[in-house]
Structure 1
């Protein structure tokens, strides 16, 4: 029981990191697309 409680914050952190990396990838894709269109 204590293990699952202590694992909860790290699980939330991993979830947050996944969302963060997704947004970074999306931004990078949008920037790359706009640069491609500008050519």
Structure 2
């Protein structure tokens, strides 16, 4: 199932997508765009 980034960020407790994107990059070392390209569903 593909969820929009906005929904994922909300589900994990972020009110701002930008804050979630920065945290995701910090956790994984890659951007959300690169992650989605590397692990398509």
TM-score normalised to structure 2 length: 0.32
- The structure whose Rg is larger is 1
Q: Which has the larger share of helix?
A: 1
Higher relative contact order (CA 8 A, sep 6+): 2
